[in-house]
Amino acid sequence: MKIFNTLSGQKENLPENRPLRLFVCGPTVYNYAHIGNARTYVSFDNFVSYLRSRGIKVSYLQNITDVDDKIIKRGLEESVSPMEIAGKYEKIYHEDEKSLKIDSVNKYARATDHIPEIIKQIQILIEKGHAYKIENEGYYYDISTFKEYGKLSKRTAEQAEDATSRIDEGVNKKNKGDFALWKFPKSEVGGNKNGKSFAIINGEPIWNTPLGWGRPGWHIEDTAITEKYFGPQYDIHGGAVDLKFPHHEAEIAQQEAASGKKPLVKIWMHTGFLLFGEEKMSKSSGKFVSIRDFLKMYSADIFRYIIASHNYRSPINYTDQLAIEAGKNINSIIEFLTKISLVKKSGTPQIDIAKYEKSFIDSLDDDFNTPKALSVIFDLINEANLKIQSITKKDAVSAKKYIAEKLGLFKVSVKMPRIPLKIRLLAWRRKLLRNNKQFAKSDLLRKKIEALGYKIDDTPLGTIILKS
Ligand code: AMP
């Protein structure tokens, strides 16, 4: 399987015949996650689901950023501890993942559970001359000591679309792009705290460590976590494009400098943005649709269909119309599956499912092209529709199984709805009326069925009832 590697700018083969280690940047837990975040997490959930379906073992690790300026700010605004904010939104994040059927992550690792690993890595960077101290500010990474800084994003300065709200501003830095590894407390730490290992002062959570009291910078948690679980080198690192610079660039600089081994990661996979209007959907701009608000209007299947119908690297311009169209597409597949359930014919199968399977796999093996894979399913539906009078029950059964299984990889359910007895009886009475050519009366019953949220479709194979 080939995947586009941001580092090389080319599609590259995934390592074969061995388990893969995947790390994806997890959420900063200070607010409800939005459907932009979900775009990235569902894309990777689909990717892992596909790899596992091909028999490839994937160890999928995600961090949880539970110490950060934004969490501290939120805690102060709500007069609660930052840990309470982080705990609350971490729980909400997992609930939202469940609602969206995301279940492929093997291990979630909180930044605050890895303070010793973070300190160890910073100490190595200090020893090797990559980090320096600024009194009253913290320890910083000196980007001039890492000659390859910029190799992932092909630049060393920020641009408008970066996750820049977390750029470290310090005025005494050696280089403008230097970033914080360890941040000293903003307020004085009273003597009574010195025997303690953790304190919250003026809303800021701080740890007592060999580097002094303080808290980690944003980038260091990821490499401390991945080194602990995967070692200094691993296979795939994911996140959305906003994280390429400076976040992922910083990760490379930290880990490759600390271990002396490169590359940190074989393949860097970046998802495109989910846009809202012309802009990237983001929590900090306040312009976002939370996962919860989306799910009040539409189903998880609709969200997952939207994601699968876009290439993971392409932007998605989110509008309600997109969700409505996705719903219609899912319904059209359900309609097709309901219709072919009426096929009774025996005889030689007419449809070559293996041909579709080959195209489906080829599409996904080529940089995980999910829209192309979805189009293969529609090609199969089109062929079956064209041959609807000649296909056999065997064709119908295998097409139904195949389509449900393939959409199941993207966790889009196309289960045929259970039709209540009352509706089935109305449909049966309508049929009798039609057989007796009492069309006016049968039309009245059709309207009644529609008013109850169902619709009747008279296909060449017979009548089907669907949810409207
Ligand atoms: P955050 O909680 O802001 O740290 O973001 C968590 C994850 O969601 C990261 O991988 C981000 O790159 C990703 N992300 C944030 N906003 C968007 C967006 N609008 N579209 C796609 N991915 C996003």
What is the number of domains present in the chain?
Answer: 3
Q: Determine the Cα–Cα distance for residues 182 and 212; give it in Å rounded to an integer.
A: 9
Between strands 212-216 and 234-240, the pairing is unpaired
Q: What angle do CA 34, 40, 46 make, to 5 degrees?
A: 125
Q: Among 383, 409, 435, where does a domain finish?
A: 409
**Structure tokens of 82?**
């930052």
Mutate to test the pocket of ligand 1, among 30, 32, 34, 40 (most ligand atoms within 8 A of CB): 40
321, with CB counted inside 10 A (0-12, 13-18, 19+), is exposed
CA-closest residue to ligand 1 atom 5: 27
- Does 165 score more than 80 pLDDT? no
Compute the radius of gyration of the chain from its Cα atoms.
27
pLDDT of 291-339, one tens digit each? 999 999 999 999 999 999 999 999 999 999 999 999 999 999 999 999 9
The domain that holds 330 is classified in CATH as 1.20.120.640
Q: Are residues 129 and 201 in the same domain?
A: yes
Q: Are residues 207 and 250 in the same domain?
A: yes
- Does 26 score more than 80 pLDDT? yes
The ligand 1 atom nearest the CA atom of 238: 10
Output the CA 99–ligand 1 centroid distance in Å.
18
In a domain, 288, yes or no: no
- Give the max Cα distance, the chain: 94
pLDDT of 206-216, one tens digit each? 999 999 999 99
Q: Are residues 444 and 334 in the same domain?
A: no
In a domain, 250, yes or no: yes
CA-closest residue to ligand 1 atom 18: 36
Nearest alpha-carbon partner for 411 in 56, 93, 43: 43
Q: Are residues 168 and 237 in the same domain?
A: yes
pLDDT of 403-445, one tens digit each? 999 999 999 999 988 999 999 999 999 999 999 999 999 999 9
Output the CA 269–ligand 1 centroid distance in Å.
13
> Domain limits at 447?
421-467
Q: Determine the Cα–Cα distance for residues 459 and 192; give it in Å rounded to an integer.
A: 80
Q: Are residues 116 and 162 in the same domain?
A: yes
Measured from CB, residues less than 6 Å from any atom of ligand 1 are 25, 27-28, 36-37, 39-40, 239-240, 242-243, 271, 273-274, 280-282
Q: Among 386, 409, 432, where does a domain finish?
A: 409
In a domain, 280, yes or no: no
Q: Are residues 365 and 463 in the same domain?
A: no
In a domain, 56, yes or no: yes
In a domain, 284, yes or no: no
Q: Are residues 237 and 209 in the same domain?
A: yes
Q: Determine the Cα–Cα distance for residues 251 and 264; give it in Å rounded to an integer.
A: 8
Output the CA 387–ligand 1 centroid distance in Å.
45
pLDDT of 267-281, one tens digit each? 999 999 999 888 888
Amino acid at position 389, single letter: Q
CA-closest residue to ligand 1 atom 17: 36
In a domain, 295, yes or no: no
Q: Among 247, 271, 295, where does a domain finish?
A: 271
Residue 411's region, left for phi above 0, alpha for psi from -120 to 50, else beta, is: left
Q: Are the CB atoms for 80 and 173 separated by under 8 Å?
A: no
